[in-house]
Amino acid sequence: MAIKIGDKLPDIELQVMGEKGPEKVRTGDLFAGKKVVIFAVPGAFTPTCSKAHLPGFVVDADKIKAKGVDSIICTSVNDTFVMDAWGKAHNAEDLIMLADGLGEFAKALDLTQDRTASQMGIRSQRYAMIVNDGTVELLNIDAQGLDQTSAETILDSL
């Protein structure tokens, strides 16, 4: 069963790019005692993700943080190097680019999708959440498009 409002996020070890290379981080540490917006995309450098989803959060990062959000996290089933390069390509230095290279976080949330037909393998669904101290307060999922998961929609929900 997919994660839902009121559930605690699982504590899983993932990676971010640090000054000296990939660094392990625990999701429990990223969310503990903080209000966080996290959004997931099916793939870095893919059309909708690169043209609309990530850029919206980059543009609205200050507005989102002004509403009491401690951090904004972008996650995808991509490796740390890809997430880092994608973040740099879109000036996403105010966001945490969280690599879910093996899809463990997406699987634990039960928010995966099978993209093997298009040679992408198992990926994350497109979603956005507002999380307070590790507990899901809002969960929006888009099967197509960005109606529910855009930065603008999340900003309006804060």
Task: Measure the CA–CA gap between 68 and 65, rounded to whole angstroms.
Answer: 5
For 116-134, letters b (16+ CB in 10 Å) and e give eeeeeeebbbbbbbbbbeb
Name residue, tokens 């995966």. Answer: 112
Strands 126-132 and 35-41: antiparallel
- Choice among 38, 41, 49, 106 that is catalytic: 49
Half-sphere exposure of 91 (CA within 13 A, CB side): 7
| Active site (annotated) includes residue 49 | yes
Minimal CA–CA distance to 75: which of 49, 114, 52? Answer: 49
Residues involved in catalysis: 49
